[in-house]
Amino acid sequence: MTRPSKAIIDLAALRANYLWGRSQQAGKAFAVVKANAYGHGAVACATALADIADGFAVAFCAEAVELRDAGITNPILVLEGCFDVDEFQLAQKLSLWVAIHQECQIRDLEHANLPADSVHVWLKVDSGMHRAGFALEQVKPAHERLTKVSAVASITLMSHFSCSDEPDKPTTLDQIEAFEKATRGIPGARSLSNSGAVLAWPQATRDWARLGILLYGADPLPQPAGKLTPVMTLQSTVFAERWLEPGEPIGYGARFVTNTKTRVGLVALGYADGYPRQVPSGTPVAVDGALTTIIGRVSMDMITIDLTPLPQAGIGSKVEFWGKQIDVNVIAQAAGTISYELLCNVKRVPKEY
Ligand SMILES: *Cc1c(COP(=O)(O)O)cnc(C)c1O
């Protein structure tokens, strides 16, 4: 038998999450499938969504090429836009929609010699996140300059929120206000909301939402709405077990020491598969549907779990690390990170759809 560890991807849940997320706001919605669809497999996820998604969004052109090569014909927005003139030519050939977030991209587009009205551009406004985008006072000049580029077929205005998953902070409202002020009087469609904004900030609704983490069923809010279904189940089975006497250490660093007679289950999955090494003993896992905990350090290829409270479990028992029983947000919190990073980091395990 081969190693039983795998990531099971529930494409029906993905579709349901997309449709629910889109229905929560008035606009159309991109399914954001950058970073290999947050670790879920970009081609498989985009194919599963192709008949219902208004469009897809990726970070850079190579990710869009992968989707076009797989036969995806929906609109694809490239969120970081093009890195040089050649990429603008590629983007135009593949009918990609491109973000423009800085002056040199306008310059490259002006020099790309593309056919008239052949590129849809998304002008990115820095409404306060201060990562990518045109500063507020540069938005109107940038827009005006783009209207003079003959290749430009349309200009949509977009911005991104820094704190949309924090419903108690006023930052999102400040960003909406800054965006409105900088773009007043400019015609064209708008796009502001990511998942957090769709879930917590109805004021941000515009023509297009950009749904990322919510598609994958990981609610980014502190108080989840409970409407999303986890798409990925990271699972394996117990493949060895042993009894330890009280006072015996387990694993690297001898960090966990038993205080009673303990039955330890061994699972063939580790940080090389993307499960975070940082989680402490006591982090939950589900074994045949019942909760128990990790004990000892997560190693590269193995994890030790406490089977003492589950006498009926043993070799062959199914172990879920996250999925429908264990919320990936709980594991992320235990590891000091966010669900996004854990999901993106899943590797080595085969995916089963
Ligand atoms: C990644 C990304 C999104 C999706 O964000 P989620 O929080 O996962 O919904 C939306 N917009 C931009 C610009 C992004 O980079």
Q: Domain for residue 69, yes or no? A: yes
274 and 138 share one domain? no
CB proximity list for 319: less than 8 A, separation 6 or greater? 235, 236, 237, 238, 265, 267, 269, 285, 286, 287, 305
**Active-site residue numbers?**
34, 252
120 located within any domain: yes
Nearest CA to ligand 1 atom 15: 79
Residues 206, 340, single domain; the answer is: no
Whether residue 226 is contained in a domain is answered as no
Q: Are residues 246 and 98 in the same domain?
A: no
**Residue 2 domain flag:** no
* Binding pocket residue ranges, ligand 1, CB within 6 Å: 32, 34, 79, 160, 194-196, 210-213
- Identify whether 330 is part of a domain: yes
75 and 156 fall within a common domain:
yes
Domain stops at, among 158, 189, 216:
216
Contacts of residue 225, defined as CB under 8 A and 6 or more positions apart, other chains included, come to 199, 219
pTM (predicted TM-score): 0.97
Show pLDDT as tens, one digit a residue, over the chain (353 residues): 799 999 999 999 999 999 999 999 999 999 999 999 999 999 999 999 999 999 999 999 999 999 999 999 999 999 999 999 999 999 999 999 999 999 999 999 999 999 999 999 999 999 999 999 999 999 999 999 999 999 999 999 999 999 999 999 999 999 999 999 999 999 999 999 999 999 999 999 999 999 999 999 999 999 998 999 999 999 999 999 999 999 999 999 999 999 999 999 999 999 999 999 999 999 999 999 999 999 999 999 999 999 999 999 999 999 999 999 999 999 999 999 999 999 999 999 999 99
The pLDDT assigned to 345 comes to 98
pLDDT at residue 274, as a whole number: 98
CATH number where 284 lies: 2.40.37.10
Q: Going by C-beta distance under 8 Å and a sequence separation of 6 or more, which residues neighbour residue 258?
A: 244, 245, 246, 247, 248, 249, 250, 295
CA of 3 to the centre of ligand 1 (A): 34
Three-state SS for 238-276 is EEEEEEECCCCEECHHHCEECCCCEEEEEECCCHHHCCC
Within a domain: 73: yes
Range of the domain at 337: 232-352
What is the pLDDT at residue 225? 85
Nearest CA to ligand 1 atom 14: 79
Three-state SS at 175: helix
Answer yes or no: do 167 and 126 share one domain: yes
| Protein residue whose Cα sits closest to atom 6 of ligand 1 | 212
Q: Where are the beta strands (DSSP E) in 148-274?
A: 152-159, 190-191, 208-211, 232-244, 249-250, 256-257, 262-267
Residues 82 and 163 in one domain: yes
Give me ligand 1 centre to Cα 145, in Å: 27
pLDDT, one tens digit per residue, over 25-80 is 999 999 999 999 999 999 999 999 999 999 999 999 999 999 999 999 999 999 99
Return the best residue to mutate from 160, 161, 214, 338 for the ligand 1 pocket (most ligand atoms within 8 A of CB). 160
Read off the CATH number of the domain in which 168 is found: 3.20.20.10
Q: Is residue 36 domain-shared with residue 158, that is, in the same domain?
A: yes
Give the residue from 216, 244, 271 where a domain finishes. Answer: 216
Q: Are residues 101 and 199 in the same domain?
A: yes
Q: How far is the CA of 32 from the centre of ligand 1 (A)?
A: 7
237 and 185 belong to one structural domain: no
**Do 173 and 137 fall within a single domain?**
yes
- The residue to mutate among 210, 338, 342, having the most atoms of ligand 1 within 8 angstroms of its beta carbon, is 210
Per the domain annotation, does 5 fall within a domain? Answer: no
Last residue of a domain, one of 157, 186, 216: 216
Q: Are residues 153 and 257 in the same domain?
A: no
Rounded to the nearest angstrom, the distance between the alpha carbon of 194 and the centre of ligand 1 is 5
194, 199, 214, 221: residue to mutate for ligand 1 pocket, most atoms within 8 A of CB: 194
Give me ligand 1 centre to Cα 272, in Å.
Answer: 26
Domain count, the chain: 2
- Co-location of 45 and 142 in the same domain: yes
- Name which residue sits closest to atom 1 of ligand 1, judged by CA: 212
Flag whether 96 is in a domain. Answer: yes
